[in-house]
Amino acid sequence: MQAPEPRVEEYTVGWICVVQAEHETACQMLDQVFDGPEQSNPLDENTYVFGRIHKHNVVIGRLPAGQYGTNAAAVVANDMVRSFTKLRFILLVGIAGGAPTNDNDVRLGDVVVSVPRGTLGGVVQLDFVKRHRLANGEVYLERMGQLNSPPRVLLGAIPEVHRRRRHPKEPDRIAENMARMADWPEYQKPAEDRLYRSDYAHQGGPNCDNCDTENLEPWSLEERTYRSRRAVAVHYGTIGSSNSLMQDVEERDRCANDPSLKILCFETEAAGLMNTFPCLVIRGIWNYSDSHKTDAWRNYAALAAAAYARELLSVLKPQKVVAQPALVGLCLVNQTASSEDTLSSSREKIAGLLKEETQEAFSELKSKILIL
């Protein structure tokens, strides 16, 4: 049965994506598409897609073409929240570079979800750390500041997603969700998953045709099916976030193997949102954060992440979402703004604060490197 067009205050879930593949896959997860509210806030620069997933009214926003990074994501989220004042949380859904280790067998097409581990809240801002070189020559990363954990209502739904995935008689719902794009050839699973050894750099060219398969990690030659009965493997833990793309394997391995971090993947938006908006980050792995070119997995990874997000929303009861406080009461922008003019200046203020934080972190980092 088709739901009636919701009022503005009936949208409870915000969904933010960055690149085109993330936007397309998000929209394909909607059960029903709405026209959206007639009157929109003229100061809101976002373009939205409106729809329904199970019983949740969802507004999907994306970063403007060509923009990425923590600041750009914060501005989009800020506009979204001031236009849809009854949103309860934001899902940040898209792609990331994986950080595979012996402990964390993260592969292309897997999904990583930001879940608290130890003292970490699920996302670590990697350009906001101090580095110390230990007596044995190893580098120790000391985190500065702390990002908030995802909202409890979302973390509370994850065990049920996990149970359904483990139950032998339950269908593979993430695979079913991915099948919603079965007729999009460019979103099908690529044939090859190559993980090169850390000490083997890309040999040049737009793809890895020149790169020697003798230098692959042994596990990239194995079938993935031995790991999971399901189409997609899901990892829960810490996501590294910064304003720059991770393509340095030494740094990747350091962050992934550091017992205080255990980073599973790297992305470039989440740190801009976590402390201002209740937010869960869901990332599909499209490369290995190295110099090798694996664009082939971009679309499939975006689809896997969107499919997981849809499964999470299917488990989450709408009445539990509605019982959460609306973001308008939680966010800095809405605590301080009482008119449209001040709303606009608040948006700039948040972007400025985030920029300052990042610059401070870089200065700190630079001075440490000089000392070392």
Distances (CA, A) of 218 to 213, 214, 223: 10, 9, 11
**Is residue 215 within 8 Å of residue 200, measured between CB atoms?**
yes
Residue number, 77 or 208, with CB nearest to Zn ion: 208
Residue number, 130 or 202, with CB nearest to Zn ion: 202
Interaction site with Zn ion (CB under 5 A)? 202, 208, 211, 292
**Is residue 70 within 8 Å of residue 271, measured between CB atoms?**
yes
Q: Residue holding tokens 């073409």?
A: 65
Distances (CA, A) of 189 to 29, 229, 303, 311, 312: 18, 16, 10, 19, 22
Residue number, 45 or 250, with CB nearest to Zn ion: 250
The two three-digit tokens of residue 84, written as one number: 């849809």
Shortest reach from residue 108's CB to Zn ion, in Å: 14
Shortest reach from residue 293's CB to Zn ion, in Å: 6
Residue number, 168 or 206, with CB nearest to Zn ion: 206
Shortest reach from residue 196's CB to Zn ion, in Å: 6
Shortest reach from residue 208's CB to Zn ion, in Å: 3
Shortest reach from residue 191's CB to Zn ion, in Å: 16
Shortest reach from residue 244's CB to Zn ion, in Å: 20
313 residue type, one letter: L
Q: Residue holding tokens 């299917």?
A: 314
Shortest reach from residue 216's CB to Zn ion, in Å: 10
Residue number, 165 or 292, with CB nearest to Zn ion: 292
Residue number, 35 or 214, with CB nearest to Zn ion: 214
Looking at the chain, how many residues does it have? 372
3-state secondary structure of 12: coil
**Is residue 88 within 8 Å of residue 324, measured between CB atoms?**
yes
Beta pairing, strands 111-114 & 234-241: parallel
Distances (CA, A) of 171 to 139, 164, 166, 222: 45, 8, 10, 25
194 residue type, one letter: R
Residue number, 143 or 202, with CB nearest to Zn ion: 202
